[in-house]
Chains A and B, each alone.
Chain A
Amino acid sequence: MALLLQEKKLSNRKNYVLIGLGVLLFIVVLFSLQSGAYTIPSVDVLKILSSHFGADTGATSIQKNVLLHIRLPRLLMALMVGGGLGIAGAALQGLFRNPLVEPGLIGVSSGAALAAVCLFVFGASFPWLPNLMGAFTLPMAAFVGGLAVTMLVYRLSQAGGKTDISLLILAGVALNALAGALIGLSLFYADDAALRSFTFWSMGDVGGTTWSKVHIALPIIGIACLLLGKQHKGLNGIAIGEAEAYHMGINVQRLKIYVLVLSALIVGTGVSVTGAIGFVGLIVPHLIRLTIGSDHKIVLPASFLMGAILLSLSDLIARMIIMPAEMPIGIITAIIGAPFFIWLIINVKKLRS
């Protein structure tokens, strides 16, 4: 009986953490919508939002415009990209069986960036490309670039049918460096207009998000996240071992391709709209595992929530800290993320000794 009670406590804790994250998200959302260079009281925020669903409101049109056309799309983008980075980070760590993996390390971000740069610089030579895919051109290019580099890193890290983690990290470092060099090389050939659009894009920020961008990124990232969240069984199996996962009925090869493609889709799309944002995919799954254990059934959705909270909070800080100017959000996540990464390394060292 006493043992049963303990078990209940554990599952209750998981529920509490999920509920807690939900509440936290709501608070961050509300706070994020009301603060900025032009303050909108939270009562008005709720009023305007509900008026969107048919209720009457006394809010001014400035409030309405700021909220509906500047803050809301921007917040949605931060939530989606942050959540996507969180869940992709958790899934990739699970797949590679290593807690130090993050989308940046295995080349998703740099591959996506390289493809985006190529599109900015050489896109004019392929006029049929935008005609074919319209507004999806940039996200698609970023996705293909991210996927290609990730696949290459993954291939290089395979030794004897298994993923060799030291090879993986070496391959990641090498291909990231190569991608960086190729980005530099492409910029060398860029004209002023291409250079300008790349510079703005590479600053990595969710400012200037328009509804049209949200309309493209939101469904892609959203659907990919939903599909990725369904891979929890397989990722749990992989945590015991690739062979063991197969013994328990997981199609390991299919799982690997699923997770890689979906992660590349999420991160590539994210990179294409906001630039490369580091560390979210690394920190978030760790925080989650520390609090509620390793079961991917909870880790994946909780990582999404936590990533969404972290990035929207970082965005809030980014636009509050030097008001009315804004700091690129990548700087904020790196300032939080880098010390955390160091703390992580120290702890891994302790665990090993």
Chain B
Amino acid sequence: MIKADNINFWIKNRRVLENIYLQLNVGELKVVLGPNGAGKSSLFKILSGEATCKLGAVAYNGRNLQQYNAAHLAMVRSVMPQSSQLSFPFFAKEVVEMGLMNINNHNPTYSIQEVMLQTNTWHLKNQLYGNLSGGEKQRVQFSRALVQIWEEKPYPRYLLLDEPTSSMDISQQHQLLHLLLGLKKRNIGILVILHDLNLAALYADSLILLKEGKVIANGVKDEVLTAENLFQTFDYPIEVLRHPVTGKPLIAPQPVHTNFQQTIKSA
């Protein structure tokens, strides 16, 4: 379990996170939602160990994050940041291979091939990363993060993804989240920052709504995804319907002009 207690974080005297508590269990897919500047990425960096908070603590499997060194932490959690700029030309497969640089994997060749087939990047393996499209680059980076925790281990592990689908087409987005559904069954907990509310509604187990560094709602999906919560978080009228096929929440934002008329009416 990842446990974050009372996280407070300042950037240049501006408080970007206030008293955040969260838990991520294995087998759980947790989605973080919130408007721009809500502090999602700061929270992400603190959870991944990249940034340290002055107040508050993060523990992985009951052990404080500070007690892990980088190599040890890499065995327990894998991270995909928003975007990665390569400084030198590498082949797509070389990028994926790097995910295993500190991992004791018994059959790296097999793991890499399996992951790249699953993420639909195997056909790109001999292409230079710089020549790929935005969505393809994201899939290659996703593969790199995925291969790091691909081989099953007896201890609980975690995958942290910051807007992994931002450049992907709709089919690739759903394939990625579907892959995550399979992955969480392997003693892995997953935390994803998303902007697409419907993706979150379809695949998440639990949600955290963040706004201006504060938690608006935190809990199981059906409790958190309500019209009031979403309005409070995004300052925008959003209806929550039922998906006709899955019965899961379906997010329907209202167009701006309706929003206007309502404001006029109420005024």
Interfacial residues, chain A to chain B (CB-CB below 8 A): 3, 6-7, 10, 94, 97-99, 233, 236-241, 243-244, 246-252, 289, 293-295
User: A243 to B71, Cβ gap below 8 A?
Assistant: no
Do A237 and B101 have beta carbons less than 8 Å apart?
yes
Residue of B nearest to A7 (CB): B126
Task: Name A99's closest neighbour in chain B (CB-CB).
Answer: B88
Expressed in whole angstroms, the minimum distance between the Cβ of B44 and any Cβ of chain A is 11
Contact residues of B between 112 and 156, Cβ < 8 Å to A? 125-126, 144-145, 148
**CB distance B86 to A240 under 8 Å?**
yes
Contact between chains at A293 and B102 (CB < 8 Å): no
B87 at the interface (CB under 8 A from A): yes
A239 CB contacts on chain B under 8 angstroms: 86-88, 90
- Residues on the A chain within 8 Å of B99, using CB: 248
Please, which residues of chain B bring their CB within 8 A of the CB of A249?
70-75, 101-103
Distance, CA A94 to CA B87, complexed state (A): 8
Shortest C-beta distance, A17 to chain B (Å), equals 16
| B75–A244 touching, CB < 8 Å | no
B contact set with A: CB distance below 8 Å: 45, 48-50, 69-75, 78-79, 81, 84-91, 94-95, 98-99, 101-103, 125-126, 144-145, 148
In angstroms, Cα B99 to Cα A295, docked, is: 14
Least Cβ–Cβ distance between A198 and chain B, in angstroms:
38
Residue numbers in B under 8 Å from A244 (CB-CB): 79, 81, 84
C-alpha spacing A236/B95, complex, angstroms? 9
- B71 contacts A240, C-beta separation under 8 Å: no
Contacts of B79 in A (CB 8 A): 243-244, 247
By a CB distance below 8 angstroms, the chain B residues around A10 are: 126
Contact check: which of B45, B84, B90, B102 meets A295 at CB < 8 Å?
A: B90
- CB neighbours (8 Å) of A237 from chain B are 98, 101
Q: Does B81 lie within 8 Å of A241, measured CB to CB?
A: yes
Interface centre among A97, A98, A233, A244 (most CB of B within 10 A): A244
28 chain-A/chain-B pairs, Cβ below 8 angstroms: A10-B126, A97-B87, A99-B87, A233-B101, A236-B101, A237-B101, A239-B88, A243-B79, A243-B81, A244-B84, A246-B50, A247-B81, A247-B145, A248-B74, A248-B98, A248-B148, A249-B71, A249-B72, A249-B73, A249-B101, A250-B70, A251-B69, A251-B71, A289-B88, A293-B89, A294-B88, A294-B94, A295-B90
The CA-CA distance from A6 to B72 in the complex, in Å, is 35
Residues of chain A within 8 A of B125, CB atoms compared: 3
Q: Which residues of B contact A240 (CB under 8 A)?
A: 84, 86, 95, 98, 144
A250→B100 CA distance, assembly (Å): 12
Q: Other than A241-B84, A249-B71, A295-B90, give 8 A-B pairs with Cβ distance below 8 A.
A: A10-B126, A94-B87, A240-B86, A246-B49, A249-B75, A250-B101, A294-B90, A295-B94
User: Chain A residue with minimal CB distance to B75?
Assistant: A249
- Give the 7 A-B CB pairs with smallest separation, nearest first: A249-B74, A249-B102, A97-B87, A294-B88, A247-B79, A249-B71, A251-B70
- How many whole Å from B32's CB to the nearest CB in chain A? 18
Q: Which residues of A contact B126 (CB under 8 A)?
A: 3, 6-7, 10
Most buried by B among A237, A246, A247: A247
Once the chains bind, are B84 and A293 in contact (CB under 8 Å)? no
Q: Which of chain A's residues have a CB closer than 8 A to the CB of B45? A: 243
What is the CA–CA distance of A187 and B32 in the complex, to the nearest angstrom? 64
Contacts of A236 in B (CB 8 A): 94, 98, 101
Nearest A residue to B88 via CB reads A294
CA distance A233 to B102 in the complex (A): 9
The chain B residue with its CB closest to the CB of A234 is B101
B105 to chain A, nearest CB (A): 13
Q: Whole-angstrom distance from the CB of A243 to the nearest CB of chain B?
A: 5
Neighbouring A residues of B86 by C-beta, 8 Å = 239-240
Q: Which residues of B sit under 8 angstroms from A243, Cβ to Cβ?
A: 45, 50, 79, 81
